[in-house]
Amino acid sequence: MAELMYWEAIRRAHDEEMTRDPLVICMGEDIGVAGGTYKATKGLYDKYGPERVIDTPISENGFTGLGIGASFLGVRPVIEIMSVNFAWLAMDQIFNTAAKVRYMSGGQLTAPIVVRSPGGTAHQLGAQHSARMEKVFMGIAGLRVVTPSTPKQAYGLLKAAIRCEDPVFINEHELMYNLKGDVPNEEFFHPLEGSEVVREGRDVTLFGYNISVHWALQAAEVLSKQHGIEAEVVDLYALSPLDCSGIAASVSKTHRVVIVEEAEPAVGVGSEVMAIINEACFFELDAAPQRVSAVNVPIPYNRQMEKAALPTVRDVVDVVLAQVAK
Protein backbone atom coordinates (compact mmCIF):
# COMPACT_ATOMS: atom_id res chain seq x y z
CA MET A 1 0.00 0.00 0.00
CA ALA A 2 1.02 3.60 -0.62
CA GLU A 3 -0.40 6.55 1.28
CA LEU A 4 -1.53 9.09 -1.30
CA MET A 5 -3.51 12.27 -1.26
CA TYR A 6 -6.75 12.28 -3.23
CA TRP A 7 -5.19 14.43 -5.97
CA GLU A 8 -2.12 12.21 -6.13
CA ALA A 9 -4.32 9.15 -6.66
CA ILE A 10 -6.11 10.89 -9.53
CA ARG A 11 -2.81 11.94 -11.06
CA ARG A 12 -1.44 8.39 -10.80
CA ALA A 13 -4.49 7.00 -12.61
CA HIS A 14 -4.11 9.64 -15.34
CA ASP A 15 -0.43 8.82 -15.75
CA GLU A 16 -0.86 5.05 -15.90
CA GLU A 17 -3.64 5.21 -18.46
CA MET A 18 -1.79 7.73 -20.64
CA THR A 19 1.32 5.54 -20.57
CA ARG A 20 -0.71 2.47 -21.55
CA ASP A 21 -2.76 4.03 -24.34
CA PRO A 22 -1.56 6.91 -26.57
CA LEU A 23 -5.19 7.73 -27.38
CA VAL A 24 -5.88 8.81 -23.79
CA ILE A 25 -5.67 12.60 -23.63
CA CYS A 26 -6.52 15.31 -21.10
CA MET A 27 -8.28 18.58 -21.81
CA GLY A 28 -9.21 21.51 -19.61
CA GLU A 29 -8.41 24.96 -18.28
CA ASP A 30 -4.96 25.26 -16.66
CA ILE A 31 -4.38 21.49 -16.61
CA GLY A 32 -1.16 21.68 -18.63
CA VAL A 33 1.54 24.20 -17.78
CA ALA A 34 -0.06 25.00 -14.41
CA GLY A 35 -0.67 21.34 -13.55
CA GLY A 36 -4.34 21.79 -12.73
CA THR A 37 -6.12 23.93 -10.16
CA TYR A 38 -6.02 21.02 -7.69
CA LYS A 39 -2.76 19.47 -9.03
CA ALA A 40 -4.52 16.42 -10.46
CA THR A 41 -2.53 16.70 -13.72
CA LYS A 42 0.72 17.96 -12.22
CA GLY A 43 3.73 16.99 -14.35
CA LEU A 44 1.73 15.36 -17.13
CA TYR A 45 2.25 18.26 -19.54
CA ASP A 46 6.04 17.90 -19.31
CA LYS A 47 5.82 14.13 -19.75
CA TYR A 48 3.28 13.84 -22.57
CA GLY A 49 3.40 17.23 -24.27
CA PRO A 50 0.80 19.77 -25.41
CA GLU A 51 -0.86 17.43 -27.92
CA ARG A 52 -2.04 15.08 -25.17
CA VAL A 53 -2.35 17.44 -22.20
CA ILE A 54 -4.28 20.28 -23.75
CA ASP A 55 -4.71 23.66 -22.10
CA THR A 56 -8.01 25.03 -23.36
CA PRO A 57 -9.61 28.47 -23.53
CA ILE A 58 -12.30 29.34 -20.99
CA SER A 59 -14.99 27.74 -23.14
CA GLU A 60 -16.51 24.70 -21.44
CA ASN A 61 -19.09 24.06 -24.12
CA GLY A 62 -16.43 24.28 -26.82
CA PHE A 63 -13.72 22.03 -25.43
CA THR A 64 -16.21 19.51 -24.04
CA GLY A 65 -17.78 19.23 -27.48
CA LEU A 66 -14.32 18.89 -29.03
CA GLY A 67 -13.52 16.01 -26.67
CA ILE A 68 -16.83 14.27 -27.37
CA GLY A 69 -16.27 14.53 -31.11
CA ALA A 70 -12.77 13.08 -30.73
CA SER A 71 -14.21 10.17 -28.73
CA PHE A 72 -16.35 9.21 -31.75
CA LEU A 73 -13.09 8.51 -33.59
CA GLY A 74 -11.47 6.37 -30.90
CA VAL A 75 -9.75 8.96 -28.72
CA ARG A 76 -10.21 8.57 -24.92
CA PRO A 77 -10.51 12.13 -23.61
CA VAL A 78 -10.49 12.97 -19.92
CA ILE A 79 -12.09 16.40 -19.72
CA GLU A 80 -11.54 18.44 -16.57
CA ILE A 81 -14.07 21.17 -15.90
CA MET A 82 -12.37 23.36 -13.31
CA SER A 83 -15.50 23.73 -11.19
CA VAL A 84 -18.80 21.92 -11.51
CA ASN A 85 -20.47 25.33 -11.44
CA PHE A 86 -19.03 25.88 -14.92
CA ALA A 87 -20.40 22.54 -16.15
CA TRP A 88 -23.73 24.29 -16.71
CA LEU A 89 -22.11 25.72 -19.83
CA ALA A 90 -21.27 22.24 -21.16
CA MET A 91 -24.56 20.52 -20.38
CA ASP A 92 -25.79 20.58 -23.96
CA GLN A 93 -22.72 18.65 -25.10
CA ILE A 94 -22.76 16.19 -22.19
CA PHE A 95 -26.51 15.60 -21.98
CA ASN A 96 -27.67 15.93 -25.58
CA THR A 97 -24.66 14.44 -27.35
CA ALA A 98 -22.47 12.21 -25.17
CA ALA A 99 -25.29 10.64 -23.15
CA LYS A 100 -27.58 10.03 -26.14
CA VAL A 101 -25.40 9.26 -29.14
CA ARG A 102 -25.24 5.46 -28.62
CA TYR A 103 -29.03 5.24 -28.59
CA MET A 104 -29.70 7.77 -31.33
CA SER A 105 -27.16 6.11 -33.64
CA GLY A 106 -28.42 2.59 -33.01
CA GLY A 107 -25.09 1.66 -31.44
CA GLN A 108 -23.01 2.87 -34.38
CA LEU A 109 -21.33 5.56 -32.27
CA THR A 110 -20.18 5.64 -28.67
CA ALA A 111 -18.76 8.48 -26.58
CA PRO A 112 -16.16 6.91 -24.26
CA ILE A 113 -15.32 10.15 -22.49
CA VAL A 114 -14.66 10.98 -18.86
CA VAL A 115 -15.68 14.36 -17.46
CA ARG A 116 -14.04 15.13 -14.10
CA SER A 117 -15.17 18.11 -12.09
CA PRO A 118 -14.84 19.25 -8.47
CA GLY A 119 -17.88 20.61 -6.72
CA GLY A 120 -19.31 21.13 -3.27
CA THR A 121 -18.91 23.90 -0.76
CA ALA A 122 -15.30 24.75 0.03
CA HIS A 123 -14.49 27.87 2.10
CA GLN A 124 -16.16 31.15 1.20
CA LEU A 125 -16.25 30.71 -2.54
CA GLY A 126 -19.71 32.21 -2.84
CA ALA A 127 -22.94 30.89 -4.30
CA GLN A 128 -21.67 30.70 -7.89
CA HIS A 129 -18.69 28.53 -6.91
CA SER A 130 -20.34 26.24 -4.35
CA ALA A 131 -22.78 24.17 -6.41
CA ARG A 132 -23.71 20.61 -5.55
CA MET A 133 -24.81 19.42 -9.00
CA GLU A 134 -24.56 15.65 -8.71
CA LYS A 135 -28.36 15.34 -8.64
CA VAL A 136 -28.57 17.06 -12.03
CA PHE A 137 -26.13 14.67 -13.70
CA MET A 138 -27.59 11.54 -12.14
CA GLY A 139 -30.95 12.31 -13.73
CA ILE A 140 -29.61 11.94 -17.28
CA ALA A 141 -30.20 8.59 -18.98
CA GLY A 142 -27.10 7.24 -20.74
CA LEU A 143 -24.61 8.95 -18.40
CA ARG A 144 -22.78 7.15 -15.60
CA VAL A 145 -22.13 9.21 -12.46
CA VAL A 146 -19.62 8.26 -9.76
CA THR A 147 -18.27 10.23 -6.81
CA PRO A 148 -15.20 8.96 -4.93
CA SER A 149 -14.94 9.41 -1.16
CA THR A 150 -11.34 8.13 -0.74
CA PRO A 151 -8.04 8.25 -2.64
CA LYS A 152 -8.41 4.53 -3.38
CA GLN A 153 -11.79 5.11 -5.00
CA ALA A 154 -10.52 8.19 -6.84
CA TYR A 155 -7.75 6.08 -8.39
CA GLY A 156 -9.78 2.98 -9.24
CA LEU A 157 -12.87 4.79 -10.50
CA LEU A 158 -10.89 7.01 -12.87
CA LYS A 159 -9.06 4.04 -14.36
CA ALA A 160 -12.30 2.12 -14.81
CA ALA A 161 -14.03 5.17 -16.28
CA ILE A 162 -11.30 5.72 -18.87
CA ARG A 163 -11.72 2.16 -20.13
CA CYS A 164 -15.53 2.28 -20.08
CA GLU A 165 -17.42 2.59 -23.37
CA ASP A 166 -20.04 4.83 -21.76
CA PRO A 167 -19.64 8.52 -20.92
CA VAL A 168 -18.77 8.86 -17.23
CA PHE A 169 -19.09 11.95 -15.05
CA ILE A 170 -16.82 11.90 -11.98
CA ASN A 171 -17.97 14.24 -9.24
CA GLU A 172 -15.06 15.10 -6.95
CA HIS A 173 -15.23 17.33 -3.87
CA GLU A 174 -13.10 20.43 -3.52
CA LEU A 175 -12.36 19.84 0.17
CA MET A 176 -11.07 16.31 -0.38
CA TYR A 177 -8.06 16.81 -2.65
CA ASN A 178 -5.63 16.77 0.28
CA LEU A 179 -7.35 13.84 1.99
CA LYS A 180 -4.86 11.02 2.58
CA GLY A 181 -5.55 7.31 2.28
CA ASP A 182 -4.08 3.96 1.32
CA VAL A 183 -3.99 3.02 -2.34
CA PRO A 184 -2.69 -0.43 -3.42
CA ASN A 185 0.67 -0.36 -5.15
CA GLU A 186 -0.60 -2.69 -7.85
CA GLU A 187 -2.99 -1.53 -10.56
CA PHE A 188 -6.68 -2.03 -9.86
CA PHE A 189 -10.05 -0.95 -11.19
CA HIS A 190 -12.99 0.03 -9.03
CA PRO A 191 -16.47 -1.07 -10.19
CA LEU A 192 -18.51 1.77 -11.67
CA GLU A 193 -21.68 0.32 -10.16
CA GLY A 194 -22.57 -0.64 -6.60
CA SER A 195 -22.14 0.73 -3.09
CA GLU A 196 -19.82 -0.06 -0.17
CA VAL A 197 -20.58 -0.76 3.46
CA VAL A 198 -17.77 1.17 5.14
CA ARG A 199 -18.95 0.54 8.70
CA GLU A 200 -21.10 -2.36 9.86
CA GLY A 201 -24.04 -1.64 12.14
CA ARG A 202 -27.39 -3.00 13.30
CA ASP A 203 -29.53 -0.09 14.51
CA VAL A 204 -29.72 2.43 11.66
CA THR A 205 -28.25 2.92 8.18
CA LEU A 206 -26.52 6.18 7.30
CA PHE A 207 -26.27 6.62 3.53
CA GLY A 208 -23.72 9.13 2.22
CA TYR A 209 -21.55 9.93 -0.77
CA ASN A 210 -18.19 11.69 -1.19
CA ILE A 211 -17.70 14.11 1.72
CA SER A 212 -20.92 13.15 3.52
CA VAL A 213 -19.57 9.61 3.97
CA HIS A 214 -17.01 11.10 6.35
CA TRP A 215 -19.69 13.03 8.24
CA ALA A 216 -21.69 9.82 8.55
CA LEU A 217 -18.65 7.94 9.88
CA GLN A 218 -18.02 10.65 12.47
CA ALA A 219 -21.67 10.57 13.52
CA ALA A 220 -21.56 6.78 13.77
CA GLU A 221 -18.59 7.04 16.11
CA VAL A 222 -20.43 9.50 18.37
CA LEU A 223 -23.56 7.36 18.38
CA SER A 224 -21.60 4.27 19.33
CA LYS A 225 -19.45 5.80 22.07
CA GLN A 226 -22.02 8.09 23.67
CA HIS A 227 -25.34 6.33 23.05
CA GLY A 228 -24.63 2.67 22.34
CA ILE A 229 -26.25 2.93 18.90
CA GLU A 230 -24.46 1.03 16.15
CA ALA A 231 -24.95 2.76 12.82
CA GLU A 232 -24.16 1.14 9.50
CA VAL A 233 -22.56 3.53 7.01
CA VAL A 234 -23.06 2.90 3.29
CA ASP A 235 -21.06 4.78 0.67
CA LEU A 236 -23.19 5.45 -2.42
CA TYR A 237 -20.16 6.08 -4.61
CA ALA A 238 -22.17 5.23 -7.77
CA LEU A 239 -25.01 7.71 -8.15
CA SER A 240 -26.11 6.54 -11.57
CA PRO A 241 -27.05 3.80 -11.59
CA LEU A 242 -27.81 3.67 -7.86
CA ASP A 243 -27.32 0.34 -6.13
CA CYS A 244 -30.95 -0.59 -5.44
CA SER A 245 -30.14 -4.06 -4.10
CA GLY A 246 -27.39 -2.75 -1.82
CA ILE A 247 -29.70 -0.05 -0.44
CA ALA A 248 -32.46 -2.58 0.20
CA ALA A 249 -30.07 -5.04 1.86
CA SER A 250 -28.88 -2.53 4.43
CA VAL A 251 -32.40 -1.23 5.16
CA SER A 252 -33.61 -4.80 5.68
CA LYS A 253 -30.81 -5.26 8.21
CA THR A 254 -31.19 -2.08 10.30
CA HIS A 255 -34.82 -1.02 9.64
CA ARG A 256 -34.01 2.69 10.05
CA VAL A 257 -32.54 5.12 7.51
CA VAL A 258 -30.93 8.54 7.47
CA ILE A 259 -29.53 9.92 4.20
CA VAL A 260 -26.73 12.46 4.63
CA GLU A 261 -26.04 14.86 1.76
CA GLU A 262 -24.38 18.22 1.41
CA ALA A 263 -26.74 19.33 -1.32
CA GLU A 264 -30.14 20.93 -0.96
CA PRO A 265 -32.80 18.25 -0.39
CA ALA A 266 -35.15 19.05 -3.28
CA VAL A 267 -35.03 16.50 -6.10
CA GLY A 268 -31.76 15.10 -4.75
CA VAL A 269 -29.91 11.91 -3.99
CA GLY A 270 -31.82 11.53 -0.73
CA SER A 271 -35.14 11.82 -2.57
CA GLU A 272 -34.15 9.05 -4.97
CA VAL A 273 -32.90 6.77 -2.19
CA MET A 274 -36.21 7.28 -0.36
CA ALA A 275 -38.10 6.33 -3.52
CA ILE A 276 -36.07 3.14 -3.87
CA ILE A 277 -36.72 2.25 -0.23
CA ASN A 278 -40.45 2.94 -0.62
CA GLU A 279 -40.65 0.69 -3.68
CA ALA A 280 -38.31 -2.10 -2.60
CA CYS A 281 -38.50 -2.52 1.17
CA PHE A 282 -41.18 -0.28 2.69
CA PHE A 283 -42.38 -2.92 5.13
CA GLU A 284 -38.87 -3.38 6.53
CA LEU A 285 -38.96 0.11 8.05
CA ASP A 286 -39.47 0.78 11.75
CA ALA A 287 -39.42 4.56 11.19
CA ALA A 288 -39.81 6.92 8.28
CA PRO A 289 -36.55 7.58 6.37
CA GLN A 290 -35.12 11.04 6.94
CA ARG A 291 -32.66 13.35 5.20
CA VAL A 292 -29.94 15.54 6.64
CA SER A 293 -29.28 18.12 3.93
CA ALA A 294 -28.28 21.72 3.30
CA VAL A 295 -30.69 24.59 3.79
CA ASN A 296 -32.42 25.37 0.50
CA VAL A 297 -30.70 28.71 -0.13
CA PRO A 298 -27.81 29.84 -2.37
CA ILE A 299 -24.65 29.29 -0.32
CA PRO A 300 -23.72 32.57 1.40
CA TYR A 301 -20.23 34.04 1.18
CA ASN A 302 -20.15 35.05 4.86
CA ARG A 303 -18.32 32.29 6.72
CA GLN A 304 -20.76 31.96 9.62
CA MET A 305 -23.77 32.00 7.32
CA GLU A 306 -22.08 29.48 5.02
CA LYS A 307 -21.60 27.10 7.96
CA ALA A 308 -25.19 27.64 9.07
CA ALA A 309 -26.46 26.60 5.63
CA LEU A 310 -24.67 23.24 5.69
CA PRO A 311 -25.49 20.04 7.57
CA THR A 312 -23.27 18.96 10.47
CA VAL A 313 -22.31 15.76 12.26
CA ARG A 314 -24.42 16.95 15.19
CA ASP A 315 -27.44 17.19 12.89
CA VAL A 316 -26.96 13.56 11.89
CA VAL A 317 -26.63 12.41 15.49
CA ASP A 318 -29.76 14.31 16.56
CA VAL A 319 -31.89 12.88 13.73
CA VAL A 320 -30.78 9.33 14.57
CA LEU A 321 -31.51 9.81 18.27
CA ALA A 322 -34.99 11.08 17.46
CA GLN A 323 -35.62 8.11 15.17
CA VAL A 324 -34.47 5.51 17.66
CA ALA A 325 -36.56 7.10 20.40
CA LYS A 326 -39.79 6.57 18.42
DSSP collapsed to 3 states, 157-194: HHHHHHHCCCCEEEEEEHHHCCCEEEECCCCCCCCCCC
Cβ 99 vs Cβ 143: under 8 Å: yes
Cβ 251 vs Cβ 232: under 8 Å: no
Q: Can you say whether the dihedral through the CA atoms of 123, 124, 125, 127 is positive or negative?
A: positive
Rounded Cα distance, 212 and 215, in Å: 5
Exactly one of 8, 17, 29, 60 is catalytic; which is it?
A: 60
The amino acid that residue 260 corresponds to is V
Cβ 119 vs Cβ 171: under 8 Å: yes
Cβ 164 vs Cβ 112: under 8 Å: yes
Residue 151 pairs in a beta bridge with none
Exactly one of 129, 173, 190, 214 is catalytic; which is it?
A: 129
- 60 among known catalytic residues: yes
Catalytic residues: 60, 129
